[in-house]
A = this chain, B = another copy of it.
């Protein structure tokens, strides 16, 4: 809209050469104190702001990082993203965000877009393992940090320990006498889902039990879907006496279904939320939840990326594991013996 001031004009105003002005502004190379003062004064007078695009052109670095998630509004992502953004901001990086909406095609296109935009690095959330070729090519181009995704041993990433979380939560329910436990988590094709299913199953197995496979629901992350799915479970025979479910849309749907059926929590049905949000904490009864620190996940992801960005040389891949802990609240109780009627 308006012609912006270039470094050339600043140099002229300060009566030095363009090169000196550049060095003065970037404090690089040898510059006299006098030149620095003159240049700074001129820059201030003219309202000079360096052009990041032109600078990137030369330096090959945009100081922009990208982050790819399936849905920015998912509270389990949103908190992480904020934390990451804060860390990046402090380090002088800006954050480019994009939602894949769980579409593999869009995901590939967005990765290409990030590459075309020359982001310095990428935090990758919701990627299908199937696209390993895309990921590998990407990782050879720029530093990548995986968010709870398996991209092989050569990938750096931060991972929530969903396996042990699910194990602990399931043990807790088994201890309360529950046997018909429904596990509702999206994406058995993604790491979190796989890990949860494994932990869930192993908790049964270590007691010589077998989880009912029809109670492992690979739910879509949608409230409506979870609602109707829970409804059908509750109205069927051998209805679950406990739900272990992802604490976002799915928890919302399950709670709605329980309310709809008039089931008392925890009297008739127990509920554990995977992930601890406002909803789980404030719901009445408060919901026992698997908690992990979202801020830490985001901050660590940012730090891992920044570390790789600092060293030019590719550093060793790192895997940081974030542990979960079970927050016992009011939503779980001993199983009720079925009353035969």
Give chain A's interface residues, CB within 8 Å of chain B: 1-2, 49-54, 56-57, 62, 64, 71-73, 75, 78-79, 81-82, 85-86, 89, 94-99, 101, 110, 112-113, 115-118, 140-142, 252, 255-256, 259, 278-279, 281-284
Query: CA–CA, A255 to B279, complex, Å?
Result: 12
State A117–B95 Cα separation when bound (angstroms). 12
Which listed residue (B73, B98, B118, B252) contacts A78, Cβ 8 A?
B73
Q: Is the interface of A mostly helix, strand, loop or mixed?
A: helix
- Contact, CB under 8 Å: A50 / B116: yes
Residues of B within 8 A of A81 (CB): 72-73, 97
Pair A117/B73 contact, Cβ less than 8 Å? no
Minimal Cβ-Cβ distance residue in B for A277 = B278
* Option from B75, B252, B259, B282 in Cβ contact (under 8 Å) with A252: B282
A118 to B62, CA, bound (A): 12
Q: Which residue of B lies closest to A71 (CB)?
A: B82
Given the complex, which residues of B lie within 8 Å of A71, measured CB to CB? Answer: 82
Q: Is A72's CB under 8 angstroms from B62's CB?
A: no
Total copies of this chain within the assembly: 2
* Whole-angstrom CA separation of A53 from B225 in the bound complex: 43
Given A1-B142, A57-B57, A96-B96, also A51-B116 (CB < 8 A): yes
Q: Taking the nearest CB of chain B, how far is it from the CB of A33, in angstroms?
A: 26
Bound-state Cα–Cα, A278 to B51, Å: 43
* CB contact under 8 A between A75 and B72, given known A1-B141, A97-B85, A115-B49: no
List 4 extra interface pairs beyond A72-B78, A73-B79, CB under 8 A. Answer: A52-B118, A89-B98, A89-B99, A95-B98
Query: Considering only CB atoms, which chain B residue lies closest to A265 in the complex?
Result: B284
Cross-chain contact A86 with B99 (CB below 8 angstroms):
yes
Instruction: Say yes or no: A95-B94 contact (C-beta < 8 A), given A57-B53, A279-B282.
Output: no
19 A–B contacts from the bound complex (CB under 8 Å): A1-B140, A1-B142, A49-B112, A49-B115, A52-B117, A52-B118, A64-B117, A75-B78, A78-B78, A85-B98, A86-B101, A94-B96, A94-B98, A94-B117, A96-B97, A97-B97, A252-B281, A278-B278, A279-B279
Closest B residue to A295 by beta carbon equals B73
Chain B residues with CB below 8 A from A51, complex form: 116, 118
Which residue on B lies nearest to A259, using beta carbons? Answer: B284
Q: State in angstroms the CA–CA spacing of A279 and B248 once bound together.
A: 11
A47 to B53, CA, bound (A): 24
- Nearest chain B residue, comparing its CB with the CB of A80: B73
Complex Cα gap A97–B66 (Å) = 10
Q: Taking A115-B49, A116-B52 as contacts, is the C-beta distance between A73 and B62 under 8 angstroms?
A: no
B252 touches A53 (CB 8 A): no
A177 to B142, CA, bound (A): 63
| Cβ–Cβ < 8 Å partners of A259 in chain B | 284
- Asked if A53 and B50 sit within 8 Å, CB to CB, the answer is no
Given A72-B82, A75-B78, A96 and B95 contact (CB-CB distance below 8 Å): yes
